[in-house]
Chains A and B, each alone.
Chain A
Amino acid sequence: MKLVKSRLFVNSGKLAPYIFISPFIISFLVFGLYPMGYSITMSFWKWTAGGPQEFRGFDNFVKLLTSDPYFKLSLWNSFVLMIFGSGLQHLFAIPLAIILDDKSIKGRDFFKLTFFLPYITSVVSIVLIFSQLYDENYGWLNYIIVNVLGQDKVRWVTESVPIKTSISIMLNWQFIGWNTLIYLAGLQSIDESLYEAAEIDGATKIQQVFSITLPLLKPVIFFTLTLSIIGGFQIFEQPFVLLGGYEKMGGPGNAGLTSAFYLMATGFSYGRYGKASAIAWLMFIVVIVMNILHKKIVHSDE
């Protein structure tokens, strides 16, 4: 009887949809849901390189929020880098996209490619090049600052403020092109007739930007800023490579210790996997809250 039912199920074509979605479902269960569940489990334990040691309940979370001196600092560092590293990009990307959208500009494709190149370059390569630029004694930047501008050399990677500046410069350089292309795609969906009508009404280019372009680009700005908030809290490779790996803990004053960096160091350098999982889930909550706030601000006038 069961066999007959199974055959009917197969022959009726009801099985086909399940087979078609099974690659995703299986991948999601194995590589998505299971690791998430595993990390929640780990976050309730003292879980070291030797495996689970003792059940701690919410202790890992409580300690991170109360007594751990690095977690709050790392959140602050991530927030600062999110503003000046991830957020600042948009102030460059939007004008660049508007300029590139002007069909009278020659070599638009060349500029698009040039701006996009840093995005597809390996982060490690970028950081290695920037670390030579930033080298305190032999770097080009300090050579110009000292020999051309006559100023004192800057300790780009050994002092607190310059560390954040140097990471922000790198992030801006790397991601401005990516955001420019996203905005460019958004601009191309704006109806040309709106600009023609504005011109007939005597609106200047600047007035057109503020009255037509930016309001209609708002959904794209919301999308890219959301990505920037998420990306801002995932900054890891840049400070990790630039500041000398886990052992340096983000450099003097832990100025480059982002939340993702602290998570990775806690897990993979100090062998505290339970605590690292707790950091990951706290970061998840912070990113969710930031995005809810962002959505409320952007849509406050609707």
Chain B
Amino acid sequence: MKKNIFLLILVVSVNLLIYGNGTNEKSTSIPPIDMSKNYEITIGTWGQDVADAYNEALMKSDFTGKFPNIKVKFMVSDFSSHHTRAITTIAAGEATNEIEMLEVAQIAKFIEGGGLQPLDVEPFNGFDAGSELVEFAMVNASSKNGRLVAYPVDIAPAVLFYRKSLVDAAGVSLENLQSWDEFINIGMKLTKDLDGDGVIDQYAIPHAVEVSSVPLNGGMSGWFTKDGVPLEPKSKFMEALNLVKAVRDAGIDADLGTWSPPWLQSFGDGTIVATINGAWFGGALETYIAPETKGDWRVTYIPNNSAASMGGSYMSIPIAVPNDKKAAAWEVIKYLCTSEAAQLNSFRKLSSFPVLTTLYDNPVMDEKVEFFGGQKVRQIYSQVASKMPADPVSEYDPIARAIFGNYTTMVLVDDMPTTEAYSSALSEIIAVAD
């Protein structure tokens, strides 16, 4: 027992000495890529479909011709396991892959304090290379002092999806809605007891919370001001809380938890008429959520022509990756994020909306999409993407998002006054974010 305690004290002492300088960052001297040397780069990602799409892009001659010395491999796991592994490895100052893909909600954790290789420095010069990338996505990966910690590879502009047959049957239109009040009024006409048994069978939307996320830009940024003050401007957060309450009070949401079996079923069986989500959701509807509804779905702008981000992915290089491999890893990232061929490939294969703004005028955006009844939905996606707000991101965003989300639920289920919800959330965020 005494020996074990002695060993434990020894381990703690050694660790304290190792981390005594308070940083695990290595030298910033990064050599450029050496074309006479062969590189093997591993990308950690989620989903085999994502790996397949990127692999296909990296097999194209414009990449292999330029970098025949770079061989790319993938380490694929499910979404949750991938992020748990990647984040804990980076936090421990280690690196299992040269490139780690991170979902947009994870980026905030790395904004301040290192862990990821800054990409704004030599030899990357990420800001220059990314001058054609959509601005808000670059801002969301930038720290207060201008460090670029990751590179956006796809985004998810939020739009309103709806089933045309059900909207037409109600004799209303969801196009060009000028306000949320108008949306709620139409939602009440779409919410119906179809068989007259006293139970509502058709709702306007799945859950009130999806509407409240619009003023909050999908919840991925803007929780703190640039000066670090939480939940400001107050009006933005109060709008979200009041909106969620108005939707629930109007009875137009089905109160279906996202990704629950009833939620998944509701898009195909007619329980739900419309939903607000990122562009990627169109691909999910088409491939596995409700493929049988092909031709009936349409896409339009969110009421008041609001713009919000509901998803997105980034690529990063852990700081612990050997410096001599970082430039090669960067070339892979740069190709996947800034080349039209790679971005288009991901768009076609994964419905991942491009970050590359030069593609927004590409003829592919004018193509009719069969699943949406031949509608040119990509034009809408690209217009929303062009005007998405570039709110600041903070390392405390995940905490703020969880606390505020919790109080939003309490407004819905406990009838908590919205002012009380705001002030309680504010005081708890201040207490916990340290």
Contact = CB atoms under 8 A, between A and B. Distances in A.
Contacts of B431: 67-69
Interface string A39-52: 01100111111111
Interface in B220-278: 254-257, 260-262
Contacts of A299: none
B403 A249 contact: yes
Nearest to B413: A158
B84 A51 contact: no
B392 interface: no
B12 A159 contact: no
Interface string B381-417: 0000000000000011011011101100110011000
A138 B12 CA distance: 52
B84 A29 contact: no
Contact of B409 (A29, A70, A252): A252
A63 interface: yes
A155 B257 contact: no
Interface stretch (B18-26, B43-51, B160-168, B347-355): B18-26
B434 interface: yes
A75 B272 CA distance: 40
B317 to A, nearest CB: 13
Contact of A271 (B87, B260, B261): B87
A111 interface: no
A68 B91 CA distance: 23
Given A37-B8, A37-B15, A252-B409, A244 B257 contact: yes
A253 B410 contact: yes
A34 interface: yes
Contacts of A135: 260, 262
A53 B22 contact: yes
A37 B24 contact: no
Interface in B330-377: none
A22 interface: no
B409 A50 contact: no
B432 interface: yes
Interface stretch (B60-68, B111-119, B122-130): B111-119
A36 B8 contact: yes
B113 to A, nearest CB: 4
Interface residues of A, number: 49
Interface residues of B, number: 53
B28 to A, nearest CB: 15
B110 A50 contact: yes
Given A136-B255, A252-B410, A271 B11 contact: no
A48 B23 CA distance: 11
A246 B92 CA distance: 21
* Max count, chain A CB within 10 A of own CB: residue among B8, B90, B92, B406: B406
B295 interface: no
A119 B303 CA distance: 50
Nearest to B255: A137
Interface of B: 4, 7-8, 10-12, 14-16, 19-20, 22-25, 84, 87-88, 90-93, 109-110, 112-116, 254-257, 260-262, 395-396, 398-399, 401-403, 405-406, 409-410, 413-414, 428, 431-432, 434
Interface of A: 29, 33-34, 36-38, 40-41, 44-55, 63, 67-70, 131-132, 135-138, 155, 158-159, 244, 246-249, 251-254, 265, 268-271, 273
8 contacts: A41-B19, A45-B19, A45-B22, A50-B112, A53-B23, A55-B22, A69-B432, A131-B260
Given A48-B109, A53-B113, A268-B88, 19 more contacts: A29-B7, A33-B7, A36-B8, A40-B12, A41-B12, A45-B19, A48-B91, A48-B112, A51-B115, A52-B19, A53-B22, A68-B431, A136-B255, A158-B409, A244-B257, A248-B405, A248-B406, A249-B402, A271-B398
